[in-house]
Amino acid sequence: MRVPYPWQYYAGMALVFGGALFLVLPQAIGGLAWESLVSTPGARAGWLVAFVVVGLIFTNTAVRVMKESARRQGNKEHGEAKA
């Protein structure tokens, strides 16, 4: 059975990829407005941890939503499971 990805999945992925761009672009293109926020290795590491942790929270929530959606859809199509 096919279960669509919830919005939390896409938000988590966008956050991780957006965070990567946030960290890499100032090194490749000078003069960006947020360049001073990621100028030291410690600051970059802090931002990286923040982006990855929040991204993982979103994607883990998406997995729980998908499981619940699959369970409901399965119960609807095949009836309640007998324990």
Q: What is the pLDDT of residues 46-75, one digit of tens each?
A: 999 999 999 999 999 999 999 999 999 888
- Catalogue the E-assigned strands of 1-83: none
The phi-psi region of residue 8 (left if phi > 0; otherwise alpha if psi is between -120 and 50; otherwise beta) is alpha
pLDDT on residue 80:
72
User: What is the tally of structural domains in the chain?
Assistant: 1
2 lies in a domain?
A: no
Distance CA 34, CA 12 (A): 22
28 lies in a domain?
A: yes
Distance CA 57, CA 12 (A): 7
Q: Residue 12 has which token pair?
A: 């988590």
24: containing domain: 7-75
How much is the average pLDDT of 33-44?
A: 91
pLDDT on residue 78:
82
Q: Check: CB of residue 22 under 8 Å from CB of residue 38.
A: yes
